[in-house]
């Protein structure tokens, strides 16, 4: 079963990437859909039969990606002059915090 869980996690990895929409293109998932994907990943990891150390490593990889996305959006926020773009980055920051909960 563990092999299936890690296979599923690797297949949905691109759906777990948090980034603000660029150049007017919409994100592949809505924020609610992406939240469900993070919840799914968490449930798969926690309920898997892996040892605690492996579960910790998998959860850390999810959270590390969120922290990197948060840091990237946070760094871009003061550089943006347009209010609309700042709002998009603020939403990205909000989602990163919400997904990490």
Integer Cα distance of 77 and 36 in angstroms: 26
DSSP for residue 77: G
Mean pLDDT of 60-85: 91
pTM across the whole model: 0.84
Integer Cα distance of 95 and 101 in angstroms: 10
Q: Packing angle between helix 31-47 and helix 83-100, nearest 10 degrees?
A: 20
Torsion angle of the four alpha carbons 50, 53, 59, 65, in this order, in degrees rounded to the nearest 10 = -130
Mean pLDDT of 72-83: 91
12-31 pLDDT, tens digit per residue, is 999 998 888 776 677 788 88
pLDDT-derived band at 41 (thresholds 50, 70, 90) equals: very high
Q: For all residues of the chain together, what is the average pLDDT? A: 90
CB atoms within 10 A of CB 60: 11
Mean pLDDT of 64-83: 91
């Amino acid at each position: 079963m563990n092999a299936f869980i890690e296979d599923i996690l690797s297949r949905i990895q691109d759906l777990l990437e948090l980034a603000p929409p660029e150049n007017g293109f919409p994100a592949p998932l809505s924020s609610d859909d992406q939240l469900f994907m993070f919840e799914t990943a968490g449930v798969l990891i926690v309920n898997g039969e892996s040892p605690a150390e492996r579960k910790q490593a998998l959860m850390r990889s999810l959270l590390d990606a969120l922290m990197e996305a948060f840091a990237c959006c946070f760094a871009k926020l003061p550089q943006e002059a347009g209010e609309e773009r700042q709002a998009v980055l603020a939403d990205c920051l909000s989602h990163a915090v919400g997904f990490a909960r």
